[in-house]
Amino acid sequence: MDMIEHVPILLLVGSVAGFFAGLLGIGGGAITIPALFLVLGTIGVPTKWLMHTAVATSLAIIVATSLSSIYAHHRKANVAWPIIRGWWIFIAAGATAGSFFAKSLKTEQLVYIFATLLLLLAVKMLVPMERFKLGKALPGGLLQFLSPTVIGFFSSVMGIGGGSFSVPYLTLYSVPIHRAVGTAAVLGLVISISGGLGYIVTGLGVSGLPPGMIGFVHLPSVIIVALGGIVFAPLGAKAAHSLPKLMLSIVFGLFLVVAAVRMLSAV
Task: Read off φ and ψ for residue 246, nearest 5 degrees.
Answer: -65, -45
* Residue 243: how many other CB atoms lie within 10 Å: 12
**Distance, CA of 54 to chain centre:** 11
pLDDT number for residue 44 = 86
Among 128-137, 157-166, 170-179, 191-200, the range with the most confident prediction by mean pLDDT is 191-200
pLDDT number for residue 115 = 84
Query: Which H or E run includes 217?
Result: strand 217-218
Contact 155, 98 (CB under 8 A): yes
pLDDT surpasses 80 at 149: yes
pLDDT surpasses 60 at 52: yes
Using CA atoms, how far apart are residues 227 and 229, in angstroms rounded to an integer? 6
Confidence of residue 85 (pLDDT cuts 50, 70, 90): very high
pLDDT surpasses 60 at 232: yes
Confidence of residue 194 (pLDDT cuts 50, 70, 90): very high
